[in-house]
Amino acid sequence: MAARDADDGRLSDEELLANLILLLVAGFETTTDLLGNGLAILLDRPDLTAALRSGRITTAAFVEEALRYESPVQLTTREARIDGLLVEDVPVPPAAT
């Protein structure tokens, strides 16, 4: 917001909005989905809940495994932004996804 308000051309209204949308989708939905998926796993697996409560499984390990087992980001897309891009020697044309 400060960069946009500085009025020195660093960040336009459109760029600010694009960044806010990115942060909402990338930062908020991933986190809430991970919390929901983690809760669903624990409700489904009382043995894991007990292990977590007793400390046999650490919270960090559980979060890592929840990210792998029931990831909030199960697929994503990429778009080639340059000419002449090669992935493992396979040419990827510009704008290909």
Q: How far is the CB of 97 from ligand HEM (least distance, A)?
A: 13
What are the C-alpha distances in Å from 25 to residues 5, 7, 46, 53?
A: 23, 27, 31, 31
Q: Which of residues 24-53 bind ligand HEM (CB under 6 A)?
A: 26-27, 30-31, 34
Nearest to ligand HEM of 54, 77 (CB atom) = 77
**Quick one: which of 19, 59, 21 has its CA closest to 38?**
59
Helix (H) or strand (E) holding 42: helix 30-44
If one asks whether residue 16 binds ligand HEM (CB under 6 A), the answer comes out as: no
Would you tell me which residues interact with ligand HEM (CB under 6 A)? Answer: 22-23, 26-27, 30-31, 34, 67, 72-73, 76
